[in-house]
Amino acid sequence: MESYDVVIVGGGVIGASVAWHLAVRGCTRVLVLDAAPGPGQGSTGRATGGFRVQFGSEPNVRLSLLAREKLLRFQDEVGVDPGYHPCGYLFLTERQETLAALLEAQAMQRSLGVTDARRVTVDEALGINPAVAAEGLVGGVYCPTDGFIRPLQMLAGYTEAARGPGVRFEYGAAVRGMRVEGGRVAAVRTDAGEVAAGAVVNAAGAWAGKVAAMAGADVPVTPLRRQVALSEPFAGLPECMPLTIFVEAEFHLRVRDGRVLMLWSDQPNTADPFDTTFDDAWLPQVAARAHRWIPCLREARVDRAACVAGLYEMSPDRHVLLGPAPGVENLFLANGSSGHGVMHSPALGQLVAEMIVDGAASSMDVHPLRPSRFAEGQPNAAPEFL
């Protein structure tokens, strides 16, 4: 039976980040198992590539700040351009009470070092994004160093850089079970047989709950389908338009490679929570929001063949579960990022590697993200739109 110091379940950008961070700390007897037939065929490949520090809770702001530091060093350290492009995030609201909540969150962000986040009036918002229809808006918030990243470039960078020191990646390798002895995972089972593991990292995304259950751990992570409508090539909006969010409409959009990406946070009704079949009935709803708030999009056409659906990995408080699974001391969780996994992957990989190699995370305080917080009645709090 083969044996590894660490077996990582999930070869998306979080799993690959963990693998690379382990390797650079000298832990190279690492195996990454991914059920997909090749890299980038899961949630990472369907991510829209947003990056922001404008969050409503301290743990998420701290994760973003750590991730941003690492994105700025990514080219030098990993050897690949992560595509970080600070075009900004612009939150716009129709309600004074929502604006007050945004400003309260901004005060917290600024206390943690986000000095360039600021309030914007409607006129200032139009100066930042002239395409917006201003009627009904009362203002918003903006951070110019938020922006965009390239998920597949980051994944490729981490994967190839981890392979150099000896990390092994296996695709088409679904995990079928785990053998637990004395409160620890002794081995991971695939169709090819068992692999002994000193530690296991659950980086299985929306499937994290199923993977954890194989070790007898209860991980409250559930899948949530999200859809993205892509336009045909459209010159009516600039490539570096800030990602613009209309809070009450639950609608946001950005431009990537000359196409407009449009998202509306509906709640899909599907019998299979892991179903990623695109729902055409959703398109008129997102189009109505696009036409209302960005009138020039009435001239754009949706490219139905390019539209995609993917899965978020949702936790009860919309924050990642980070650290050892309760009751299984060598099963490390990096699950439940709730739509923020790609942007936080540089930070999550470093923190998990610190836990495994050093015995504790040192780059930031991860206590608020401990997996036991739900059983302890101490979930994190933040506005739903942040």
The ranges assigned to domains in the chain are 2-49+151-220+316-373, 86-146+223-314
Sequence-distant (≥ 6) Cβ neighbours of residue 356 within 8 angstroms: 6, 22, 27, 199, 201, 332
pLDDT at 266 over 90: no
Q: Which CATH architecture has domain 86-146+223-314?
A: 2-Layer Sandwich (3.30)
In 3-state terms the chain splits into helix, strand, coil percentages (rounded to 5) of 35, 30, 40
Task: Dump pLDDT digits (tens) for 324-348.
Answer: 999 999 999 999 999 999 999 999 9
Report residue 109 as tokens: 């962000």
Task: Dump pLDDT digits (tens) for 159-204.
Answer: 999 999 999 999 999 999 999 999 999 999 999 999 999 999 999 9
pLDDT the model gives residue 271: 81
Strands 193-202 and 2-9: parallel
Q: Which CATH superfamily is domain 2-49+151-220+316-373 in?
A: FAD/NAD(P)-binding domain (3.50.50.60)
pLDDT the model gives residue 270: 78
| Pairwise CA distance, residues 8 & 27, whole Å | 13
Task: Dump pLDDT digits (tens) for 150-167.
Answer: 999 999 999 999 999 999
pLDDT the model gives residue 1: 84
Q: Which helix (H) or strand (E) holds 286?
A: helix 283-293
* Integer CA distances (angstroms), 215 to 212, 235, 259, 360, in order: 5, 51, 43, 22
Residues 348 and 354: beta-carbon distance below 8 Å: no
